[in-house]
Every structure is written in structure tokens, then in C-alpha cells.
A and B are shown apart, each in its own frame.
Chain A
Amino acid sequence: MNYSNHGSQDTRSGFGAGLLELGRINPNVVALCADLTGSLKMDAFAKEFPDRFYQIGIAEANMIGMAAGMTIGGKIPFTGTFANFSTGRVYDQIRQSVAYSDKNVKICASHAGLTLGEDGATHQILEDIGLMRMLPGMVVINPCDYNQTKAATLAIADYHGPVYLRFGRPKVPNFTSSDAPFVIGKALHLQEGKDVTLLATGHLVWPSLLAADILALEGISAEVINIHTLKPLDTEAILKSVAKTGCVVTAEEHQLYGGLGEAVAGFLSKEYPAPLEMVAVNDSFGESGTPEELMVKYGLDEHAIVRAAKRALSRRG
């Protein structure tokens, strides 16, 4: 592997670091939080910019509406709460007051997916990417590590329009470069390969690199692409890779329905039909456990990606 872990960190801390830096370089950036300031790592921003930080209380619907209103007059609001409360709980508020109203709101969501861990299924949203992808005009981003989450946080302030930024709770390998630019909608080739394309997003990018190493030991050359932006999808990069390898695996910490896998399948079925295997949660809720235990139990680890790659290869023939 051409990548090494510089030291595991949580992606939410990347968001917190990015937000603090935005506070210093962009006076229009304001932040709102629904009583999860510490969990979202927004405390440094709140401390340094108390006049630009709004503690809303446990009232997520009001938070989304207020963020929409704050854009009127030129602010760039970043809302922060868990992914579950950032999407499903406030879907209609996002739909009408943010997306349909064309407001420049950045919905920043932590503790997404199974890796939230012990709190269990009530908080482990696995449907948020699908919910947000369906909204017209919504940009959906799920970065893979600390450095990329920080870079994405900075990048979305310069983009005018609604954005959903998804990140997580546990410490995970931090392997991308701290000075890598983040371009919305531009997938990143992490590793060249010729036999199978691995398309991964968020916490599944690192396991995909591990899977590529395992496959290499068996003589299978896997191409690994980091799909940090789920919408707009970098169809050009995907098409180019799949045209070369002829089969593809998608990997995400999300339901099969509505996520990366379906997005890629929907596109490839029209443009370049090829065997496709999805690594995702199979139409079920999560449960309590450590993040590592849950990722294995629900089939979201590197071994699951290896098995999926072999299935895709055998179908391609």
C-alpha cells in the first residue's frame, strides 16, 4: 500500500479543526449546535467566536430553520448535531426551508452509521445518504479521514448552496495528506489496478485499501477510488475505471438502499453495465457493540470487501 496511517483520529475532530480555521479566515461563517458542542468538536469555535456561535438547545427543527434564515444577509451557517438528528428528524425542514429555498446552509453531521457504536440503533443512522441524495440541489459529502474531513469543511464554505457533510465518531486511520486540496465532486484515485474497481466512501475507504492488499497477495489487482462526494457523483472517473477493469465493488457504512451502491448501479446500468457487488448494510438496523465488532458483524470490513471483489470477478469471467 502506498498509504500509511499518520495516527488515528476521529473525522469529527477534522470537522472541528476545519470549522475553527474557517472562523479565522471567513467572517461570514457562523455555527449552530443543538446541545452537542463537545461531541461535534465545535467547542474551539464557540470559545474563540462566541458571537458567531448559536447554542440552539435540543431543538433541531428550529436549528435548521434558523440556519436557513441566517443566510439572508450573507451568513454561511454550519449546523452541527448527530447525523440521525441532522437528517431524518428534520427532513421536511431541510427540504422546504433549505433545499427548495436555495439556502446556503452547511448541514454537518457526526456519529453517522454503525461506528457510533454502543449507543445502538436509535442513533446509528444508515439512511442519511439516501435521504439527502434525493433532495434536488443537495451536495452530499462523506470524507474518509481526519485530514479529508478538515479539507472538506473548508471547501464547502467556498461553495454556494446547500451541503450535507457526513462524518463519524471513532478514531480511524488518518492517511490522506494534510495539504491535499478538496475538490467537491472529484473522486480521488488512491491506487491503480486492472482487475476490479473498489469504490469506497467515508470509513470504508481505509478497509478498501486493506482489501486491495489482501487481493494483491492472491494476484488480483484492485483499483481503489475514494468517492468522497456522493452527489454530484464523479461519473467520469467511475466510467473510466470500470471500462478498464470490467467489474466493480462499492463499499459504504450505509444501507444498501439509497447509498453509493445504488447511485453507481443506477449510473452504470445505463452507461456501462458491468458486474457490481455492494458492501453495505443489508436492510437492517444496527445494534450496540464496539465499532470494530459492528463492522465485522454487519459485513463492512476489509474481508467483506475481498469477498465481494471475488464475486464480482467471477461474474465478469
Chain B
Amino acid sequence: MATIDHLEAMSTQVRRDILRMVHAVNSGHPGGSMGCTEYMVALYFEAMNHTPKPFSMDGVGQDLFFLSNGHISPVFYSVLARSGYFNVSELSTFRKINSRLQGHPTTHEGLEGIRMASGSLGQGLSVALGAAATKKSNGDPSLVYTLHGDGELQEGQIWEAVLYAGGKKVDNIIAAIDANGQQIDGPTDGVLPMGDLALKFEAFGWKVLVVKEGNDMQSVVNALSEAKAMTGKGFPIALILQTSMGHGVDFMAGTHKWHGVAPNDEELKNALGQLPETLGDY
């Protein structure tokens, strides 16, 4: 079991990766990536049972993860590389021509660790439910995890899937919501108010855990542990993570401004100064 100190050191390094990746190509989505870093690190380095090498698309006997809000690919790629799915040096190819690290994740280039393409929002929960159904059918007791943006929940397909999972009592899935309250055009409440997400999921037959400190590693680790213990009991689990977009860098935190904007040279220097190199840059 990883210590909280190690997971926090990993998070700092992952945030450095995210910023250096998007800066190098002056594109990509750092804000949401940094807000979800604790969840992704806790998932891959603590919660999930998974085998990076050799990578198996079918993942029999392993927990699976589906990133539904594919635009936060930088955090996904960094965590996959640092888990050992592929070499961290490949992070330098992000969004460049002939790279396996496409702007949004894809299976199409054979990148280890990716099991579905995502980017067009709202599709990941359905795919995860299919994978969960196959696990049940195969007698595989492993779990299926997902991550969604809160803005992404405005897509109708999500609610088809939420209805299905609750109605059919799917109990081998843990869906996490990155509730940062922000989307491209501004605060979620200004774009299309989402109301009480926990009540919505509960009304659809889900059990909900709200993590008020979604950027506190201990809180996230505890919540994942609690969520795992709730599986197998006849209902799906939603983990609502209250996070801060751009967390970890003072001038990037808590605003939608850094949703899809890369830092310039000076901003990168300032940001990296707040995130000491812990495990070695790629």
C-alpha cells in the first residue's frame, strides 16, 4: 500500500507533467487535469487492482477505468506512464504529429492503458456499464471505475446510463464526478445549473459519497476505500469529488480560465516553482 506522502509526491510530479506537456504544444486542458490529479493518482497507485504490463485490452481479472471527459488526457497520460503502461519519455510527444498521445485518448494508436476513445462527452458511463456487464457475465469480481466532468452531466446520454445502472442494480461500478463547478463558458451554475447532484443520483437509485476535499489525498483515498466496500450490494456508487480546477498552482486554481489554455513560458516557470520535482521529470 502506498503512503499518503508518496501519493502526494506523485501528484506533484503528475502536475509538473501536465503543465510541461500542454506548454510544449501550447494546447490541451490543464485546469481539469490538475483538479482531478488526486483522484487519478489515488485510483492508479492505491485503489485499483491492475496490471500495466503486459497490457490486456480485455483486462480479465483487473479493475478497469474509463475516462469519460477525455479532454483531461494530460493527467490520464501522465498517470498511465508513471504506472508503467508506457515509458514516461513518450509524454513529450503529447498532441504532436505521429504521436500515440492524441489530443483526446484513443485506442486507435495502440497506446497501452486506453480501452476506449473519449472526447465527445457523455459516452463513458455507457461503455463502463457494458464492461461491467461483461465482468458479471464472466464471473469476474473486479470493479469498473469512471470519471466524468460535472459539466459533462449536461449530456443526455449520461442520464440514460444513470437510469440504467440504478434501475438494473449494477453494483460493480464506481462513477466519479469531478464537481469543480466550472465549464468552458464559465461557472456551471451560470451555463446550466446542475442542481443537487447527489440528490439526482440518489433519485436514480445510486448510493452517493460526497468528497468535500476532492484535492486532499487522504480524503480521496478514504472515499475510494469506502466506495469499494459499498460495491456488490445491489446499487451503483457515485463519488462526487468537490475539486478546484487548476489545483496546485495559485494563479490557476478555481477558475475556468485554464480549462483549455496552456501557460506561456513565464507562467510555466512560475507554476513549476510551486511544484517541486519529486520523482524526476520526463
Contact = CB atoms under 8 A, between A and B. Distances in A.
Contacts of A95: 120
Interface in B123-141: 123-135, 137-138, 140
B57 interface: yes
Interface string A90-101: 001101110011
B107 interface: yes
Contacts of B216: none
Given A72-B59, A73-B140, A66 B130 contact: yes
A70 B160 contact: no
Given A57-B164, A65-B161, A97-B117, A70 B123 contact: no
Interface residues of B, number: 39
A71 to B, nearest CB: 8
Contacts of A51: 137
Contacts of A62: 126, 129, 157, 160-161, 164
A69 B127 contact: yes
Interface string A37-80: 00000000000000110101101011111111111111101000
A96 B117 contact: yes
A162 to B, nearest CB: 12
Contacts of B167: 57
A206 to B, nearest CB: 38
Nearest to A93: B123
A251 to B, nearest CB: 36
Contacts of A75: 134, 137
B127 A65 contact: yes
A30 interface: yes
Contact of B116 (A56, A61, A69): A69
Contact of B134 (A63, A69, A102): A69
Contact of B132 (A57, A69, A92): A69
Given A61-B160, A62-B157, A101-B108, A73 B60 contact: yes
A71 B64 CA distance: 13
B130 A72 contact: yes
A60 B115 CA distance: 21
Interface string B93-134: 000000000000011100000011111101111111111111
Contact of A70 (B124, B134, B156): B134
B50 to A, nearest CB: 13
B157 A66 contact: no
A38 B117 CA distance: 33
A97 B126 contact: yes
B117 A101 contact: yes
B130 A69 contact: yes
Contacts of A54: 133
B281 interface: no
A124 B37 CA distance: 48
Q: Which of A51, A61, A66, A93 has the most CB of B within 10 A?
A: A66
A101 B59 contact: no
A93 B140 contact: no
B125 to A, nearest CB: 8
Contact of A74 (B122, B134, B163): B134
Nearest to A100: B117
B134 A73 contact: yes
B141 to A, nearest CB: 13
B58 interface: yes
A97 B123 contact: yes
B119 A77 contact: no
Contact of B58 (A52, A72, A92): A72
A57 B166 CA distance: 13
Interface-central residue, A51, A71, A72, A96, by most chain B CB under 10 Å: A72
Contact of B126 (A30, A69, A92, A103): A69
A77 B137 CA distance: 13
Contact of B127 (A57, A66, A100): A66
A77 B127 CA distance: 12
| Most A CB within 10 A of own CB, among B64, B116, B119, B120 | B116
A306 B85 CA distance: 61
A57 B124 CA distance: 18
Given A70-B130, A73-B58, A59 B164 contact: yes
Interface in B149-166: 156-157, 160-161, 163-164
Nearest to A64: B126
Query: Which of A56, A65, A70 counts the most chain B CB atoms within 10 A?
Result: A65
A65 B120 CA distance: 12
B134 to A, nearest CB: 4
A54 B125 CA distance: 16
B102 to A, nearest CB: 10
Given A65-B157, A100-B108, A72 B134 contact: yes
B137 A68 contact: no
User: Which 8 pairs show the lowest CB-CB distances between chains A and B?
Assistant: A69-B130, A65-B126, A66-B130, A73-B134, A59-B160, A62-B160, A69-B127, A70-B130
30 contacts: A51-B137, A56-B164, A57-B164, A61-B156, A61-B157, A62-B126, A62-B157, A64-B126, A65-B129, A66-B126, A66-B130, A68-B116, A69-B133, A70-B133, A71-B130, A72-B59, A73-B60, A74-B60, A74-B134, A74-B138, A75-B137, A77-B130, A96-B119, A96-B120, A97-B117, A100-B106, A100-B107, A101-B108, A101-B117, A102-B107
Interface of B: 57-60, 64, 66, 106-108, 115-120, 122-135, 137-138, 140, 156-157, 160-161, 163-164, 167
